[in-house]
């Protein structure tokens, strides 16, 4: 099986802070993979390294066989990254924002137009796309950004806390977008969340991260059975010794 | 009394005073800035006066009698005097006597000087004697005519001592080696638009542009759109250049609007003065040539670029817009001090150490260039352009390196303990 992501012995230090410590992980092509763990576990740091934004202190990360340090430019061509609580440009309309982002990957105007059309369908914002982003609610903004991350059909979409802070309906909408898009276009999704119940329903496989290390990995059902737990929250608590 | 007012007030005061940005920006900076500006003003005036007092005066004595000797002797108590006999001001200028005696002030004593004074005193004849005072105009600033004022003041005291209104002064200016029948004060008034408008315009343009650039980068960081941009398949230098170019365009439009408005305002004075003297800067050769304007434009452009690149670097250390604006605020004294200083005084009149400091600040150079090109001194402008370009290249290189690495996302400058300068932070991980 082709590995979309292969992380080997990844360590990242910020001065005296050890954000990641010998993290190992592999994500298969076409799956939705969830990194779950509490705030400060190292999820965002891992996603930023995979997205070529940060450099590892040691260890290697490969995306579809490409090294994120030595072949960063090539990696950026096949990934999209959605930061946690990211915003859009406040004074651009939703459509202008999508056009702006689409132009970085489109070869011509027709491709840009088709990409924006695709994004408009994904986010379902309709006529509101003509309005400036500063008038959007948090949920609408997140739908716009998730659509931006998926509209170019990347080989790997990296989504940091895609539903964080959203209400039930918007969270549901975003999850449905991700699920259906992966099914239709075979995109690999790596997402992070501290909402373990949500991840349980969305991800094919998950890795539980604590203090910069993967403490358990597998299909949600397998993990629940292995630890005799009703849900992933309980699994996590048992793994880190809280329960 | 409003219920809860006191509690809210105490909370507000604690919040505001404990915020280092407020403390620095609102309290400490004004406490330092205004005394510094006051010091600059006082220094400028003192320096111009001292320079005028130290200056030498070339006296062209065309009078063979006693009174001219009395006049020269008295003048010698005030300034150092060189005397040349039987020469006209035009000859003195064309023969290079001013540079020979290293002076910018020339006094012509006419041949009937003693005769008129004697008649005035002995026969009580109502006759006035004129001395011609010629000042070299060098476009150095608002205090340029201190020298001619000192001469006028000397003549007044001479009159008070010997006889009221016995000697009058005919003031003229020497502009680019040509004698013009215009008083130095009038010429300074004509040049006031340039002397004040240029430094103020540059000051406002640079502060405005730096704020735009810093806000733009900080907004990207705050909204996390910068992370998105950095993960795109694009040249990161393009992000930097796009930001700088956008800021330059917006600031440029702002500067043009400002200059048009300000020049209209200042023009109203200049027009009134021009009408009264029937002189204008173009006919006096005091308007920059096309090449001069071109050099000035290049100087302004490279300075703007360096200021913007510096603002981008500083804002990379900030976590949010407010932090970026505070950081950029630390650059303002480097804009304000040279601008205000050079309004009043010529950079070459400063003590060596201060002169080096002013030349080292890149933001001084467009102001220095504006004066230099007016006087036809293109090399000073070219030197400034070369220096600021080199400075800008260094800053641009640092900025591009910053954008090329993870430091653009991880570097922070903590106010609490500046010793932690540049410490990296994982933010939320």
**Domain residue spans of chain A:** 3-86+154-239
Considering the domain architecture, whether residues B135 and B112 belong to the same structural domain is answered as yes
Contact between A73 and B427 using a beta-carbon 8 Å cutoff: no
Among residues B143, B163, B183, which one ends one of the domains?
Answer: B183
Question: What is the DSSP track for A5-57?
Answer: EEEEEEEEEETTEEEEEEEEEEEETT-EEEEE--TTSSHHHHHHHHTTSS--S
B119 domain-assigned: yes
- What's the rounded Cα separation, in Å, for the pair A94 and B220? 17
- What's the rounded Cα separation, in Å, for the pair A63 and A51? 9
Residue B279: Cβ within 10 Å count: 19
- Give the CATH number for residue B158: 3.40.1710.10
Query: What's the length of chain A?
Result: 243
Q: Specify the pLDDT at position B413.
A: 55
Considering the domain architecture, whether residues B136 and B65 belong to the same structural domain is answered as yes
In this predicted model, which residue has the larger pLDDT, A153 or B121? A153
Of B49-58, B184-193, B261-270, B370-379, highest mean pLDDT: B370-379
Within 8 A of B222 by CB-CB distance, chain A residues are 87
Per the CB < 8 A criterion, the answer to whether A145 and A88 are in contact is: yes
Considering the domain architecture, whether residues B201 and B141 belong to the same structural domain is answered as no
Collapse the DSSP code of B5 into the 3-class scheme (helix H, G, I; strand E, B; otherwise coil) and give the result. Answer: helix
- Which residues in B5-97 belong to E strands, given as ranges? 56-61, 80-85
What's the domain count of chain B? 2
Considering the domain architecture, whether residues B139 and B202 belong to the same structural domain is answered as no
Nearest beta carbon to residue A76 from set B231, B409, B427:
B231
Considering the domain architecture, whether residues B209 and B126 belong to the same structural domain is answered as no
Considering the domain architecture, whether residues B176 and B219 belong to the same structural domain is answered as no
Q: Specify the pLDDT at position B252.
A: 73
Residue A156: phi and psi, rounded to 5, are: -135, 125
Considering the domain architecture, whether residues B172 and B203 belong to the same structural domain is answered as no
Per the CB < 8 A criterion, the answer to whether B312 and B397 are in contact is: no
pLDDT tens, position by position, B386-410: 999 999 899 888 888 888 888 888 8
Taking 90 as the threshold, does the pLDDT of residue B74 lie above it?
A: no
In this predicted model, which residue has the larger pLDDT, B243 or B282? B243
Please list, residue by residue across B80-97, b when 16 or more beta carbons sit within 10 angstroms of its beta carbon and e when fewer do. ebebbeeeebeebbeeeb
CATH classification (class only), A3-86+154-239: alpha beta
Taking 50 as the threshold, does the pLDDT of residue A44 lie above it?
A: yes
Residue A104: Cβ within 10 Å count: 13
Residue A216: burial class (beta carbons within 10 Å; 0-12, 13-18, 19+): buried
- Tell me the shortest Cα–Cα distance from B304 to chain A, in angstroms: 25
Contact between A86 and B426 using a beta-carbon 8 Å cutoff: no
| Direct distance between the N- and C-terminal alpha carbons of chain B, in angstroms, rounded to an integer | 48
What are A7's strand-pairing partners? Answer: A25, A61
Taking 80 as the threshold, does the pLDDT of residue B37 lie above it?
A: no
Considering the domain architecture, whether residues B265 and B397 belong to the same structural domain is answered as yes
Residue where the block lists tokens 């020298």: B147
Collapse the DSSP code of B176 into the 3-class scheme (helix H, G, I; strand E, B; otherwise coil) and give the result. Answer: coil
Considering the domain architecture, whether residues B63 and B102 belong to the same structural domain is answered as yes
Q: How far is CA A205 from CA A34, A229, B122, in A?
A: 6, 16, 118
Among residues B183, B212, B242, which one ends one of the domains?
Answer: B183
Nearest beta carbon to residue A85 from set B224, B405, B426:
B224
Considering the domain architecture, whether residues B156 and B231 belong to the same structural domain is answered as no
Nearest beta carbon to residue A79 from set B231, B423, B424:
B231
Q: Given the DSSP bridges, would you call strands B56-61 and B80-85 parallel, antiparallel or unpaired? A: parallel
Q: How many helices (H) and strands (E) does chain B have?
A: 19, 6
Per the CB < 8 A criterion, the answer to whether B169 and B131 are in contact is: yes
B27 domain-assigned: no
Domain containing residue B125: 55-183
Considering the domain architecture, whether residues B138 and B287 belong to the same structural domain is answered as no
- Nearest CA to B241 out of B422, B396, B129, B415 is that of B396
B339 domain-assigned: yes
Over range A207-236, report the average pLDDT.
89
Taking 90 as the threshold, does the pLDDT of residue B112 lie above it?
A: no
- Nearest CA to A2 out of A55, A71, A78, A53 is that of A78
- Tell me the shortest Cα–Cα distance from A228 to chain B, in angstroms: 29
Among residues B136, B151, B183, which one ends one of the domains?
Answer: B183
Within 8 A of A73 by CB-CB distance, chain B residues are 233
Q: Given the DSSP bridges, would you call strands A3-14 and A213-218 parallel, antiparallel or unpaired? A: unpaired
For helices A138-150 and A168-185, what crossing angle results, to 10°? 10
Considering the domain architecture, whether residues B99 and B208 belong to the same structural domain is answered as no
B231 domain-assigned: yes
pLDDT tens, position by position, B350-382: 778 888 999 999 999 988 888 888 778 889 999
Q: Given the DSSP bridges, would you call strands A3-14 and A17-28 parallel, antiparallel or unpaired? A: antiparallel
| Direct distance between the N- and C-terminal alpha carbons of chain A, in angstroms, rounded to an integer | 36
Please list, residue by residue across A172-184, b when 16 or more beta carbons sit within 10 angstroms of its beta carbon and e when fewer do. ebbbebbeebbee
- What's the rounded Cα separation, in Å, for the pair A72 and A68? 5
B145 domain-assigned: yes
């Amino acid at each position: 099986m082709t590995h979309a992501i292969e992380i080997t012995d990844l360590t990242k230090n910020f001065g005296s802070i050890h954000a990641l410590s010998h993290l190992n992980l592999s994500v298969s092509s076409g799956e939705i993979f969830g990194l779950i763990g509490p705030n400060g576990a190292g999820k965002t740091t891992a996603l930023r390294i995979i997205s070529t934004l940060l450099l590892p202190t040691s260890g290697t990360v490969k995306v579809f066989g490409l090294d994120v340090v030595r072949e960063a430019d090539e990696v950026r061509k096949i990934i999209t990254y959605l930061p946690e609580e990211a915003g859009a440009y406040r004074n651009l309309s939703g459509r202008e924002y999508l056009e702006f982002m689409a132009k970085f990957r489109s070869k011509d105007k027709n491709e840009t137009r088709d990409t924006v059309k695709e994004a408009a369908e994904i986010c379902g914002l309709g006529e509101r796309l003509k309005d400036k982003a500063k008038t959007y609610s948090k949920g609408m903004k997140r739908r716009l950004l998730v659509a931006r991350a998926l509209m170019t059909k990347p080989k790997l979409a990296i989504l940091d806390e895609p539903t964080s802070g959203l209400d039930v309906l918007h969270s549901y909408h975003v999850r449905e977008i991700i699920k259906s898009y992966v099914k239709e276009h075979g995109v690999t999704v790596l997402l992070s969340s501290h909402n373990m119940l949500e991840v349980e329903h969305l991800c094919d496989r998950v890795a539980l991260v604590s203090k910069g290390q993967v403490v358990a990995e597998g299909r949600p059902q397998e993990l629940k059975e292995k630890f005799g737990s009703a849900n992933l929250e309980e699994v996590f608590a048992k793994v880190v010794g809280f329960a | 009394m409003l219920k809860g007012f006191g509690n809210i007030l105490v909370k507000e005061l604690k919040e505001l005073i404990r915020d280092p940005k407020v403390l620095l920006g609102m309290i400490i900076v004004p406490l330092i800035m205004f005394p510094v500006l006051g010091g600059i003003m006082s220094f400028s005036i003192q320096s111009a006066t001292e320079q005028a007092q130290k200056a030498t005066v070339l006296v062209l004595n065309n009078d063979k009698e006693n009174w001219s000797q009395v006049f020269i002797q008295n003048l010698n108590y005030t300034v150092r005097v060189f005397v040349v006999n039987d020469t006209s001001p035009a000859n003195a200028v064309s023969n290079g006597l001013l540079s020979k005696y290293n002076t910018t002030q020339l006094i012509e004593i006419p041949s009937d000087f003693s005769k008129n004074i004697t008649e005035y005193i002995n026969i009580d004849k109502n006759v006035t004697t004129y001395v011609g005072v010629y000042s070299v105009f060098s476009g150095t600033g608002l205090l340029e005519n201190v020298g001619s004022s000192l001469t006028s003041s000397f003549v007044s005291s001479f009159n008070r001592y010997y006889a009221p209104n016995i000697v009058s002064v005919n003031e003229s200016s020497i502009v680019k080696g040509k004698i013009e029948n215009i008083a130095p004060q009038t010429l300074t008034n004509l040049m006031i638009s340039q002397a004040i408008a240029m430094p103020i315009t540059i000051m406002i343009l640079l502060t405005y542009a730096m704020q735009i650039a810093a806000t733009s980068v900080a907004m990207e960081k705050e909204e996390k759109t910068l992370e998105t941009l950095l993960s795109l398949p694009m040249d990161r230098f393009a992000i930097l250049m796009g930001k700088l170019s956008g800021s330059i365009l917006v600031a440029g439009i702002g500067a043009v609007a400002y200059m048009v408005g300000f020049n209209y305002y200042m023009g109203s004075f200049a027009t009134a003065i021009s009408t009264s003297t029937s002189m204008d800067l173009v006919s006096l050769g005091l308007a920059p040539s096309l090449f001069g304007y071109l050099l000035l434009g290049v100087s302004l452009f490279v300075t703007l670029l360096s200021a913007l690149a510096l603002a981008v670097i500083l804002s990379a250390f900030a976590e949010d817009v407010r932090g970026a604006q505070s950081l950029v605020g630390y650059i303002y004294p480097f804009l304000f001090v040279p601008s205000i200083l050079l309004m009043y005084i010529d950079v070459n009149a400063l003590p060596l150490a201060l002169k080096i400091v002013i030349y080292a600040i890149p933001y001084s150079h467009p102001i220095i260039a504006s004066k230099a090109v007016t006087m036809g001194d293109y090399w000073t402008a070219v030197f400034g352009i070369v220096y600021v370009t080199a400075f800008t290249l260094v800053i641009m290189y640092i900025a591009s390196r910053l954008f090329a690495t993870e430091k653009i996302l991880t570097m922070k400058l903590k106010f609490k303990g500046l010793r932690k300068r540049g410490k990296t932070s994982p933010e939320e991980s």
